[in-house]
């Protein structure tokens, strides 16, 4: 089965592409490589020294004998996208190819507009390309749990059955996203839902939680296959960022009280969830939504877990509650469902002491590459 991974040079995309290749899928990677360019422009870098995509793929072939086709270009360029699809003829498209940082989208007007146009147009182009030439191709699109926000009722998977004034209907779950980035994903979800309805496209929206960890079976095979690991204030996410902070004796930066609860998963589960979605495609015309996470933690509790694990390794770990740069509830109800992927057979890798140890050791190994100036959040959600 031929699978095109759009955004296959990124953190989730790279791990997914190798996993699928390892599992026998015929994999292509489409990526504009612009994320590396954004890092350069912001003056930030991954903790881990990632090699150019071409070298990564050569090494993968040397190690496994498996080829991954590479298509370098931007999906907002429809001609490029269309030519790539005609060349590769995918049966499934995994779409990670979006600007994925909330703080990046909140830097200023230009970054907000860029994020929404880039993400919405890229996805619209994919929908049109599928409709025009590959109507049976299954779109597996990365959404985010952040689309839901923190409603005071249970979060269902994409839809909710509402009884109202004596009548009943199952409707798209109401969305309350918390950044212009998260909004772009909500826009995508609405657009994809509509395209499924009018054109009979088959799509799965994976509303993913915060991903942690860095090693998968495949990226751990060789130093040249190493995955990126972000710790900076723009691209770094909780847990990964905390472990790196612990490794360099920087206080763990908890925004506000840390009472914010979020959904999390190990990157080894990310790649399995995508594989499950591909192996069990949505029906034609169906917009299917899976909440892709395995556990939930408050940010404050995560920091405490990292502190404890760090202390056990002899690291001196402090926790610092910063003024929250975001506008979000710091105490709230949070009960999201995630049964769809479990029903397909997902066996979660829950967060463990050994994972924390491994991540802390990994961070320690590369700690000399850390630029301390890039750790604190500089982007504020509020009017200055």
Residues lying near its own copies in the complex (CB under 8 A)? 78, 109, 112-113, 116-117, 120-121, 124-125, 128, 131, 135, 151-154, 160, 162-165, 167-169, 171-180, 183, 186-187, 190-191, 193-194, 197-200, 327, 333, 381-383
295 or 328, CB closer to its own copies? 328
Cβ neighbours for 32, distance < 8 A, ≥ 6 positions apart = 72, 73, 74, 75, 97
Residue 169 vs residues 2, 162, 172, 335: alpha-carbon distances, Å: 37, 6, 10, 22
CB of 287 to its own copies, least distance (A): 11
Q: How many Å apart are CA 135 and CA 46, to the nearest integer?
A: 38
Identified catalytic residue from 185, 216, 253, 270:
185
Rounded to a whole number of angstroms, the minimum distance from the CB of residue 340 to its own copies is 17
CB 131 → its own copies: shortest distance, Å?
6
Of the candidates 48, 123, 144, 237, the residue annotated as catalytic is 144
Of 255, 257, 332, the C-alpha closest to 296 is: 332
d(CA 341, CA 353): 24
Cβ 88 to its own copies shortest distance, Å = 20
Active site annotation includes 294: no
Q: How many H helices and E strands in the chain?
A: 12, 14
Residue spans of alpha helices (H) in the chain = 11-22, 34-42, 53-64, 78-88, 102-105, 109-133, 180-199, 240-247, 267-279, 299-312, 339-343, 353-365
Shortest spacing between CB 381 and its own copies, in angstroms:
5
231 is catalytic: no
31 strand-pairing partners: 72
Nearer CB in complex with its own copies: 105/245? 105
Q: How far apart are CA 210 and CA 48, in angstroms?
A: 19
Three-state SS at 194: helix
CB of residue 89 to its own copies, shortest distance in Å = 19
- Is the CB of 192 or the CB of 215 nearer to its own copies? 192
Q: Decide: 306 and 356 in contact? Cβ < 8 Å.
A: yes
- Pick 196 or 214: Cβ nearer its own copies: 196
**144 classed as catalytic:** yes
DSSP letter at 383 equals -
Q: Which is nearer to its own copies, 63 or 117 (CB)?
A: 117
Q: Which is nearer to its own copies, 122 or 310 (CB)?
A: 122
- Beta-bridge mates of residue 141: 95, 205
Catalytic site positions: 144, 181, 185
């Amino acid at each position: 089965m031929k699978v095109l991974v759009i955004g296959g040079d990124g953190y989730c995309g790279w791990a997914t592409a190798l996993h699928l290749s390892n599992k026998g899928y015929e994999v292509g990677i489409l990526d504009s490589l612009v994320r590396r360019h954004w890092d350069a422009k912001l003056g930030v870098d991954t903790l881990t020294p990632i090699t150019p995509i071409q070298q990564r793929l050569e090494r993968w072939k040397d190690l496994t004998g498996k080829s991954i086709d590479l298509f370098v270009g931007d999906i907002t360029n429809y001609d490029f996208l269309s030519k790539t699809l005609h060349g590769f003829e995918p049966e499934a498209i995994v779409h990670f190819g979006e600007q994925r940082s909330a703080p990046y989208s909140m830097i200023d007007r230009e970054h907000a507009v860029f994020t929404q146009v880039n993400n919405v147009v890229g996805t619209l182009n994919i929908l049109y390309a599928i409709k025009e030439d590959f109507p049976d191709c299954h779109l597996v699109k990365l959404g985010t749990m952040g689309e839901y926000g923190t409603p005071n009722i249970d979060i269902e998977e994409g839809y909710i059955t509402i009884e109202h004034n004596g009548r009943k209907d199952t409707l798209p779950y109401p969305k309350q996203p918390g950044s212009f980035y998260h909004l772009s994903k909500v826009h995508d979800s609405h657009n994809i839902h509509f395209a499924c309805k009018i054109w009979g496209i088959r799509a799965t929206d994976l509303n993913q939680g915060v991903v942690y960890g860095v090693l998968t079976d495949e990226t751990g095979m060789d130093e040249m296959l190493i995955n990126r690991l972000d710790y900076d204030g723009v691209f770094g996410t909780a847990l990964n960022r905390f472990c790196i902070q612990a490794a360099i004796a920087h206080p763990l930066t908890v925004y506000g009280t840390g009472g914010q609860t979020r959904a999390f998963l190990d990157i080894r589960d990310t790649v399995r969830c995508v594989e499950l979605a591909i192996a069990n495609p949505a029906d034609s015309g169906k917009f299917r939504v899976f909440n892709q996470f395995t556990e939930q933690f408050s940010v404050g509790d995560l920091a405490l877990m990292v502190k404890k694990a760090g202390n056990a390794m002899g690291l001196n770990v402090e926790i610092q509650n910063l003024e929250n740069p975001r506008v979000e509830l710091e105490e709230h109800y949070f009960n999201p469902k995630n049964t769809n992927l479990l029903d397909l057979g997902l066996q979660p890798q829950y967060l463990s002491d050994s994972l924390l140890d491994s991540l802390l050791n990994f961070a320690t190994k590369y700690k000399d590459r850390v630029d301390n100036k890039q750790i604190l959040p500089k982007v504020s959600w509020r009017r200055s």
